[in-house]
């Protein structure tokens, strides 16, 4: 983004600081990243809708539950693992419950807490859907990258993700909203 013609003056009366505008190369990288993420998300959503009638985020929730002990997680932990807001998780779990793929159970030691539990039917849907989804991911990402590029992509995204999840109290993270 290029600098606007006139920048607003801060209310404190201080001189406005010039934004750190992206260089042409940084803009190219950023736009390529955003286009790739948008197209990949759409590609995976379409594959999962076609093969299982669910969006990518729902598939991710089923995977997280399948990997959990006893195929269950507290709702707050599931929201954190999925990196989504609690309200979005609640809506998604309601839809998955309607399909019979997940059920909610009250937490015995916390009256306000609930578990999301993957049902046997949900586990079977996941087992049937996983091969096609893995192939879609492989074709869209891994088959296009060299092993070195795959390693670099993993390292880069880990650094970005870690930087967006500050450990200090009061951080504005999706699962805390």
HEC-encoded secondary structure of 120-159:
HHHHHHHHHHHHHHHHHHHHHCHHHCCHHHHHHHHHHHHH
Residue 164 to residue 177: CA distance in whole angstroms = 15
pTM above 0.75, yes or no: yes
pLDDT the model gives residue 9: 55
The residue to which tokens 């991911």 are assigned = 137
* C-alpha to C-alpha distances, 166 to 49, 160, 162, 176, nearest whole angstrom: 34, 11, 7, 12
Residue 64 to residue 122: CA distance in whole angstroms = 12
pLDDT means per 10 residues in the chain (177 residues)? 55 80 97 97 96 96 98 96 94 97 92 93 97 98 98 96 82 81
- How many CB atoms sit inside 10 A of residue 52's CB? 20
């Amino acid at each position: 983004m290029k600098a606007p013609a006139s920048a607003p003056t801060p209310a404190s009366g201080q001189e406005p600081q010039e934004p750190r505008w992206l260089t042409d190369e940084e803009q190219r990288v950023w736009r390529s990243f955003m286009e790739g993420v948008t197209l990949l998300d759409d590609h995976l959503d379409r594959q999962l809708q076609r093969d299982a009638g669910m969006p990518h985020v729902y598939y991710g929730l089923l995977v997280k539950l399948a990997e959990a002990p006893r195929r269950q997680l507290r709702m707050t932990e599931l929201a954190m693992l999925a990196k989504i807001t609690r309200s979005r998780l609640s809506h998604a779990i309601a839809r998955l419950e309607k399909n019979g793929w997940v059920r909610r159970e009250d937490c015995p030691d916390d009256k306000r807490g609930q578990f999301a539990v993957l049902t046997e039917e949900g586990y079977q849907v996941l087992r049937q859907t996983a091969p096609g989804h893995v192939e879609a991911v492989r074709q869209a990402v891994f088959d296009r990258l060299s092993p070195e590029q795959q390693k670099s992509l993993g390292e880069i995204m880990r650094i970005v993700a870690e930087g967006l999840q500050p450990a200090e109290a009061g951080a504005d993270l999706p699962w805390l909203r």
